Copies of this chain bind each other. A is one copy, B any other.
Amino acid sequence: MSKRENISTSVIKRLPRYYRFLNGLNRDGVVRISSRELSIRMGLTASQIRQDLNCFGGFGQQGYGYNVEQLFKEIGHILGLQNLHKTILIGAGNMGRALASHIDFEHHGFHVVGVFDKKESMAGQMVHGMPVRLMSGLEDFCRNNHPEIAILCTPDEAAEQLVPVLLKLGVMGYWNFTHYDIVAKHPDTAVQNVHLEDNLMRLSYQVSALKNNDMKRANI
């Protein structure tokens, strides 16, 4: 399916953005687009776009460019969005519940089949159209339903204890909202970390730097 074996993470990182832009163009009724035109819209170089796409195959046509709808679907397929990976949400606190109602899992390759929390008071409450289950039932649930993905919205210490258990139960993909470093301890997993605080600290750096520059400019 894929042309090359190992695609660099730099390329993978850009794929979702291509997907979003092409979705927009497609909805706007744009039929064809050249790498140059797309590069201007996205703020990239045309070279980079052609290099990126050619990691996966020759989707364009000389003298014409790329068919928007076809390319959109191709990238969706490369990203594996046609899948519906069985997914469990662990931790139904503020963040967990917000994700459950905010994210369109089904259009991004996932299907949430269970929600868990350790709090007795949460048990039975409805989240994402299903009742919250207690953590004590997690292992049985996994043995019966074979989820492949876990969304971790627990405290860091809980994640540390959970991951080895989940791995044994066959869960190999993790959307990790904790700061527990899954990949370091368990290399054979698929992990995306969402470190919101790290992101916020980078914003702090940027804003502070921006202010420093303003002050320097004022001095000159």
Contact = CB atoms under 8 A, between A and B. Distances in A.
A141 interface: no
Interface string A103-147: 111001110000000000000000000000000000000000000
B203 A175 contact: yes
Given A79-B205, A85-B207, A190-B209, 4 more contacts: A43-B184, A85-B204, A109-B207, A192-B203
Given A108-B197, A200-B192, A201-B81, A207 B148 contact: yes
A50 interface: no
A102 B94 contact: yes
A186 interface: no
B15 A210 contact: no
A162 interface: no
A36 interface: no
* Copies, count: 2
A83 interface: yes
Contacts of A109: 200-201, 203-204, 207-208
A17 interface: yes
A175 B104 CA distance: 21
A97 interface: yes
A27 interface: no
Given A83-B208, A172-B207, A172-B210, A202 B16 contact: yes
A185 to B, nearest CB: 10
- Ranked nearest first, the 3 interchain pairs of A and B with the lowest CB-CB distance are A80-B208, A98-B98, A109-B204
Interface in A172-220: 172-175, 179, 181, 184, 190-192, 194-210, 212
